[in-house]
Amino acid sequence: MKIIVCLKQVPDTAATIKVKPDGSGVETEGITYVINPYDEFALEEALRIKERLGEGEVTVITLGPPKAKEALRTALAMGADKGVHLSDPAFEGGDSYATAKALARAIQGLPYDLILCGKQAVDDDAAQVGPAMAELLGLPQACVITKLEIDANRKKAVVHRQIEGASEIMEVSLPAVFTAQKGLNEPRYPSLKGIMGAKKKEIAEHNPSSLGLSPEEVGLAGSKVKILKLSPPPSRATGKILEGEPREQASQLVKLLREEAKII
Amino acid sequence: MCRPWANRDVRPYNVGAVNTNSLVLLVLLVLAVGAFGYNALRLFRLLRLGKREDRFDRIGERLKSLLIYVLGQKRVLEDPYSGVLHLFIFWGFIVFSLGTIEILGKGLYKGFSLPLLGSGQPHQYLAFLQDVFALLVIAGVLMATYRRLVLRPERLGGHFSDAAVILVLIFGLMVTHLGASGLNILLNRNPSASWTPVSRVLARFFAGLDLANGTEPFLHSLFWWSHILLLLGFLVYIPFSKHLHIITAAFNVFFRSLRPQGALAPMGLEATETFGVARIWEFTWKQLLDLYACTECGRCQDQCPAYLTGKPLSPKKLILDLQGHLLSQGPALMKRGRSPGNGNGHALVGEVILEDELWACTTCGACQAACPVFIEHIDKAVDMRRNLVLMESRFPYEVQQVFKNLENNFNPWALGWDSRADWAKGLGVKLLSENGEAEILYWVGCAGSFDERNRKVSRAMVNVLQAGDVDFAILGTEEKCTGDAARRIGNEYLFQILVRENIETLDKYRVRKVLTTCPHCYNTLKNEYPQFGGNFEVVHSTEFIADLIDVGRLKFRKDQELVVTYHDSCYLGRHNGIYKAPRRVLRAIPGTKVVELPHSREKGFCCGAGGGRMWMEEKIGKKINLERTEEVLAAKVSAVGTACPFCLTMLEDGIKSKEAGESLKALDLVELVAQAI
């Protein structure tokens, strides 16, 4: 079974995000980057399917700046077989559509039985690349899955999706696109043996022309959505601990609620 | 007056009086020595399964170890009862070894004499020593028997039959020696009798029996031959017994690790296909020699916090299980060769050592400090952990997030690296990146930077430094975890990444002197960073403050009225020998009464957080921190002083679990000092 996993390199979840003064984006200096956690679930699931079936190939693909190659190397260290890197200045600044389009085009050139992505990237939280890619490739899709059973012979998959207050179980014919939710699995930690082995694995590079796309079709130029401005959430004031006898505390509290919070 | 030593022909055994058949003795001797030699060689060859390791450096220091720990029995004597009985038997063994050569020599050739002793007087000394030691050894054997049968300390465990065989053999050797020696006096009216008081008493006893003519020479032959047969039997038996240690222990002490105790063995990550130890032949020859040296005394187990709280780990069992595996699988491995993938033997973890055993170790070093023959348990456990982590990515679930946090944010908590210096806001602490220079770099450590409770300790440290007018600075967000936990969990790769980055930063600012409040940072920076080119002096807060007090730069103002005890941190105490400084600091605080805990100093009891255990759940047995907290509570003190952020966390948690927060506080020594100035 040939499995393709889409990855995005995102700022570490513990990183302090600072918006650029002009609101056009975020400051990247000093930020540690990691594989988007939901994409890690997708990758782990792919590796487990391959291990369970005892055969197959896992290809990881990412669109991002040269630095994003680190994410591919980590994925290869975890056990993926091949990497594909869509890296070109023209790809930069793209929205979900432009990204999905470039990824779909790259995937069209590869053999596959299954495509897995994270349900969303934790940086822009758009949750659109997976579904959009499925549309562009003309594949069935199931999003936010928490369980995946593959029947390789019948070319079918049974997926469990989290829905409000219940879970939905669906049978989907393969190939298909699934997006992974937390709970699908617990991703592994790459061994040093894996890290060493990853150095020898192949990463194919692509730019718009090698995908048969013009620079206008990708990145910011090919986007349908443009970011106007980013602004940070208002900073939260630190909590206050009231001291003294219960009676004093209560009167202080009433005073604060009336004068500072202005809610009574 | 008779001066027997003037008689130059006196010998301990006048063998000429015995109707020995030298040929029979020769045949028996050849057989016994042959059997011993065959088995000893077999064991020796198994050592060669191990990897190379240089333990031939610093010969002077090694010889000194032999003097102190083998001849002087320093560690054995730390347990007085077994120490004294062992001292008798051990020194008896030395004395009798010389005597034995003499007896065997004479049995083969009448004119034989030990070359070093020359002739005459020294032989009389030897005769005297043998005579006295025979009695002392018998006393030792009786003490040992009483201990095995009545006292029955738990640490000795099973294998009673082996001990019984050995004790009976030694007892028999001594009795037959004295019997033969006594009759010898009787038969020959030997003037050297005055040198052998015990034998003389026996001679009188035999004389009193009024035996029939010819019985005495027969009895003498019987004793003599029994002695020889027991001796040769002993020789044949040794390689199959825990008594092998009479040969291996001295070698093991000689080849002991002379690295700083707290430093793990360095490990190359390049030019190798496998990492750590998965199979027995991946240990070094010295690590295998350790397995032969074990005396099964169980002193390690008696001190092991994991064992004492019901974990599956016992350091003694770990060594004996590996030993059993080496002996049973080694010979086949020798034949097959040891290249990877060549039917190369069983994986140790899972088959010989349980995973839970391996992860239970806190690397506190109590086992190593107690071992009379210097077995190195920690390196073995960590080498096996290294294999699981680096080759198979197998480790307790909770640890993965810690590794990732260390990779991404350079601290074990999932907190952004850029908030590392937030604790110091408003304290007027210099940053090296701003000032570029300071006499002392205060290395805050992850706990002191990110853990809410330990941030208070860091702030107290700043107060003390400022009060002492010390020129210091911090690295701020440029500081990264030293990698102590990563290394001890087995992630050498991650450890070395952190080391390289930290050394680069320290070199950039030409740091010469580092001050830490965390003993783990202290140990790693001081003892392990030099393995990677780190070159700076490292001092711990307790030493530093003790010095400040000594030179009068800290003045205490307030009276504390505190009854306090001190909990030794393993990485400060056992691994680095710092016992005095923290106690000096406590005693210097006016109004403080210091009480010692039953487990203190070299026998300090781990809080449960070392060896990366801080980051693992403790699911099996009793929690180690509770065990320790109960000991502290029993001491009826109002505060327990710590000098380690992890000890502080563990003891505070223990106090909370015991709901004893009203009566007992856990405080870092730095906080106690800051309160009092």
**In this predicted structure, what is the pLDDT of residue B13?**
45
Q: Which residue has the higher pLDDT, B118 or B87?
A: B87
**In this predicted structure, what is the pLDDT of residue B188?**
73
Q: How far is A22 from chain B (nearest CA, A)?
A: 23
Q: How far is A42 from chain B (nearest CA, A)?
A: 18
Per-residue burial over B19-58, b = 16 or more CB atoms within 10 Å of its CB, e = otherwise: ebeeeebeebbeebeeebeebbeebeebbebbeeeebeee
- From chain B, pick out residues whose CB is under 8 angstroms from the CB of A16: 416, 418-419
Burial of A229 (0-12, 13-18, 19+ CB in 10 A): exposed
The phi and psi torsions of B74 (rounded to 5 degrees) equal -55, -50
* Per-residue H/E/C for chain A: CEEEEEECEEECCCCCCCECCCCCCECCCCCCEEECHHHHHHHHHHHHHHHHHCCCEEEEEEECCHHHHHHHHHHHHHCCCEEEEECCHHHCCCCHHHHHHHHHHHHHCCCCCEEEEECCCCCCCCCCHHHHHHHHHCCCEEEEEEEEEEECCCCEEEEEEEECCEEEEEEEECCCEEEECCCCCCCCCCCHHHHHHHCCCCEEEECCHHHCCCHHHCCCCCCCCCCCCCCCCCCCCCCCCCCCCHHHHHHHHHHHHHHCCCCC
Q: Which two tokens stand for residue A221?
A: 């130029």
Residues in B whose CB is inside 8 Å of some CB of A read 269, 274-275, 389-393, 395, 397, 400, 403-405, 408-409, 414-419, 492-493
Q: Which two tokens stand for residue B437?
A: 């220079």
Q: Per-domain residue ranges for chain B?
A: 56-243, 280-392, 399-539, 550-676
pLDDT for B438 beyond 50 = yes
- From chain B, pick out residues whose CB is under 8 angstroms from the CB of A190: 393
pLDDT for B588 beyond 80 = yes
Cβ separation of B408 and A34 shorter than 8 Å?
yes
* Residue pLDDT, tens place only, B159-215: 688 899 999 999 999 999 999 989 988 887 565 678 889 998 998 898 888 887 788
pLDDT for B644 beyond 90 = yes
Share above pLDDT 70 across residues of chain B, in percent, rounded to a whole number:
93
Cβ separation of A15 and B416 shorter than 8 Å?
yes
Asked whether the beta carbons of B613 and B588 are under 8 A apart, the reply is no
- The answer to whether the B399-539 and B550-676 domains have the same CATH topology is yes
What is the residue-averaged pLDDT of chain B? 91
Among B393, B420, B433, pick the best mutation site for testing chain A contact (most A Cβ within 10 A): B393
- pLDDT band at B437; cut points 50, 70, 90: confident
Fold for B550-676, please state it: Rossmann fold (3.40.50)
Torsion of CA B193, B196, B202, B207, to 10 degrees: 0
Closest CA to B362 of B610, B622, B603: B610
Provide the 8-state DSSP code for B244.
G
CA distance A219 to A223: 6
Among B273, B394, B410, B417, pick the best mutation site for testing chain A contact (most A Cβ within 10 A): B417
CA distance B409 to B404: 8
Nearest chain B residue (CA) to A190: B393
Q: How far is A191 from chain B (nearest CA, A)?
A: 5
pLDDT for B117 beyond 90 = no
CATH of B399-539, one of 3.40.50, 3.10.20, 1.10.3470, 3.30.1360: 3.40.50
**In this predicted structure, what is the pLDDT of residue B2?**
36
**In this predicted structure, what is the pLDDT of residue A236?**
82
**In this predicted structure, what is the pLDDT of residue A250?**
93
Q: Which residue has the higher pLDDT, B60 or B14?
A: B60
| Section B291-319 average pLDDT | 97
**In this predicted structure, what is the pLDDT of residue B101?**
84
Asked whether the beta carbons of A203 and A85 are under 8 A apart, the reply is yes
Cβ separation of A195 and B389 shorter than 8 Å?
no
Q: What is the ipTM of this complex?
A: 0.88
Q: How far is A259 from chain B (nearest CA, A)?
A: 29
Nearest chain A residue (CA) to B477: A30
**In this predicted structure, what is the pLDDT of residue B217?**
86
Among A192, A193, A196, A238, pick the best mutation site for testing chain B contact (most B Cβ within 10 A): A192
| Section A210-226 average pLDDT | 95
Catalogue all structural domains in chain A, each as residue range(s) with its CATH number: 2-217 (3.40.50.620), 236-264 (no CATH)
Sheet containing B513-516, strands listed edge to edge, beginning at the edge strand earlier in sequence: B430-431, B472-474, B440-443, B513-516, B537-540
- From chain B, pick out residues whose CB is under 8 angstroms from the CB of A12: 408-409, 416
Which range (A226-240, B396-410, B514-528) has the least confidence?
A226-240
**In this predicted structure, what is the pLDDT of residue B505?**
97
* Residue pLDDT, tens place only, B128-158: 999 999 999 999 999 999 999 999 999 988 6
HSE-up of residue B79 (Cα within 13 Å, Cβ side): 20
Q: How far is B275 from chain A (nearest CA, A)?
A: 8
- pLDDT band at B118; cut points 50, 70, 90: low
What is the residue-averaged pLDDT of chain A? 94
Asked whether the beta carbons of A198 and A180 are under 8 A apart, the reply is no
Region of residue A171 (phi > 0: left; psi between -120 and 50: alpha; otherwise: beta)? beta
Out of A15, A32, A193, whose CB is closest to B390? A193
pLDDT for A243 beyond 90 = no
**In this predicted structure, what is the pLDDT of residue B63?**
97
* Residue pLDDT, tens place only, A15-68: 888 899 888 888 888 899 999 999 999 999 999 999 999 999 999 999 999 999
| Section A238-254 average pLDDT | 89
Q: How far is B474 from chain A (nearest CA, A)?
A: 19
Asked whether the beta carbons of A243 and A125 are under 8 A apart, the reply is no
Out of A16, A189, A195, whose CB is closest to B416? A16
Fold for B280-392, please state it: Fumarate Reductase Iron-sulfur Protein; Chain B, domain 2 (1.10.1060)
CA B625 to chain centre: 23
CA distance A160 to A145: 5
Chain B CB within 8 Å of residue A215 CB: no
